[in-house]
Structure 1
């Protein structure tokens, strides 16, 4: 186990939980920790490119893609979302308070060397293709996450 290694499972696709995940990841990386984020199920929506990417999909895969937010900028809040109004209000307050946006936090994590891993099993289930997700990701299954977690002294599930 390493005192300087942290892992985060990002299961939620809610804006507030995504923000928390990236704030923690950026803080740990800034402190010199090796950080791995494992995005699974709804957390994969954070990694989607905002533009529609044409790929070959089954009907069900296409429906999943159509129903879910396309990228970090489209995420709603876990509480008080009110059809998207809550997320708009939250983003406005964050801007006033000079809090980094989710997109800025993602870029900061990249710059700090945070490893972002997309769960391939969840991608298969939800019908996501590699080309639909942002650049700079790793693609792996649960065994990779567990290997990372075995070496870490902090493992979070968000």
Structure 2
């Protein structure tokens, strides 16, 4: 996903082109509204991400746990 360092810039350019709110702003807004953030452990494994690389105060779960939580939620988003 990094594409030799070009990945983050490409994503930022696409987001800017579509007038999307930057990710840090979206995360801040979600935290202000007490949104529960859940990192997918399978995706973390596939991308080689470690907990130390992600935000503090987030949960970690697999798909089954996520779906169990999402069933009780009013709104959910799975990316």
TM-score by length of 2: 0.67
Distance of aligned partners of 1:87 and 1:141 in 2 relative to their CA distance in 1, 3 Å threshold: closer
Q: Which runs of 5+ in 1 are unaligned?
A: 1-63, 78-83
Counterpart position of 1:27: none
> What is the root-mean-square deviation of aligned Cα atoms in Å?
3.1
Q: Which runs of 5+ in 2 are unaligned?
A: none
Partner of residue 120 from structure 1, selected from 41, 47, 50: 41
- How many residue pairs are counted as aligned between the two chains? 77
Counterpart position of 2:52: 131
Partner of residue 28 from structure 2, selected from 107, 116, 122: 107
Higher RCO, Cα 8 Å, sep 6+: 1
Distance of aligned partners of 1:75 and 1:149 in 2 relative to their CA distance in 1, 3 Å threshold: farther
Q: Which has the larger radius of gyration?
A: 1
